[in-house]
Amino acid sequence: MLNATGLWDGAALLSTPNFNAGRQGEESLLPGDKGILRELAKKLAGQAALPEQQQKRELWRRHNDLQPTRPLVFCDPENGWNEILPSASLRCRGALARRWEMVLRKELFWAESLQDDKVSEPFFDIGYTHTEDDWGASEKQIGGTEGGSYVWEAALSREADIEKLHPPAFRIDQEMTRQTVSLAEDIFRDLLQVRLTGVWWWSLGLTLNLSLLRGLEQIMYDLVERPRLVHRLMGILRDGYLQKLDHLEANGLLSPRTCTWAPAGSGIPASFRRAGPAAR
C-alpha cells in the first residue's frame, strides 16, 4: 500500500508508476485530452529545467551521505490532495488521461505552490499492467471510500484456513503495458522522458500481510496462544515473497537504478526511492 500520486478514489494506495499503468477495458484518451496533457507536461518540463532543481538534488545527496546541509523539507499533503485537486477540477475525460492529468497537476502544485525541497524531474513513469497478488485467501474491506478509514474481515478466521494459502500468483499484461508506454511516448515525446518502471511494493515487511490475513487483534492473541501458527504463517509469506522476487529478477521486471534524490527513511514513497527504466 503506497502513497499514490493520483486520484484517491477508494482504491488501495498505489505507487505513481502503477497508478499510471493502463487498464484493460478503459477509455484512455478522448478528444482534447492530449492537448491538456501536453500543456501540463510542458510546464513540468520547464520546472524541471530550472537550476534550483539540480541544487536540491545535490542537497539531498549530501544529506543522505550524512554531510551537513541546511534542513531539508519534504511536504506531502497525502489525503489532503482530495481537497487540493478534487476530481471535479480535472479537465481530461478519458479514464487514463484523468489519472495522468492528476499526476502532472500534483507535480506542478508541488513545484509552484508547496515549494518544498522535492525535486521536479523531467520524467513520466509507467508501471506494468498486472493483476495483484493472490495468496489463495483475501480479506474483505469495509469502508475506505475516497481515501477514508476502513476495517476488514480477516481472510483466515479459522486456523484450518491456512491450508488455502499458496505463493502469490500475479500476471503481467505485456501487450497492454507496451500500448500504454507507446501512448505516453506519443504524448510526451519532446517534453518528458517516459520510463517503464517496475515498482511492486511499499515494503517487503511481512506483518501487514499477516494482519490482513489473520486480523490485527487476532495476531496479538496468536503470539501468546498459537506462536507456532504465527511462525508458520510468516514462513509462508517469507517463502512466497522470495519466490516472487526470483521471478521478477529472472524476467527483468525490477528497476535496477536508484533515484538521483530521495529523503532517506521509512516515510518516503517508494516511487521516489527508485528511478530508471526496467528491462524491456
Per-residue model confidence (pLDDT) at position 6: 46
Domain boundaries, the chain: 1-133+169-200+256-280, 154-167+204-252
Find the radius of gyration of the CA atoms of the chain: 20
Q: What pLDDT shows up at residue 146?
A: 62
Tens digits of pLDDT across the chain (280 residues)? 334 444 544 333 457 888 899 999 998 999 999 999 999 999 999 999 999 999 999 999 999 899 999 999 988 887 778 788 888 899 999 999 999 999 999 999 999 999 999 999 999 999 999 998 899 998 998 887 666 678 899 999 898 999 999 999 999 999 999 999 999 999 999 999 999 988 888 778 899 889 999 999 999 999 999 999 999 999 999 999 999 999 999 999 988 655 656 655 544 443 334 333 333 3
Which pLDDT value is given to residue 7?
A: 52
> How far is Cα 95 from Cα 87, in angstroms, rounded to an integer?
11
Residue 194: strand pairing partners: 124
**Residue 204 and residue 259: Cα distance in Å, rounded?**
19
Alpha helices in 16-149 (DSSP H): 16-20, 33-48, 51-64, 81-84, 95-109
Give the global pTM: 0.84
The pLDDT score that the predictor gives to residue 135 is 92
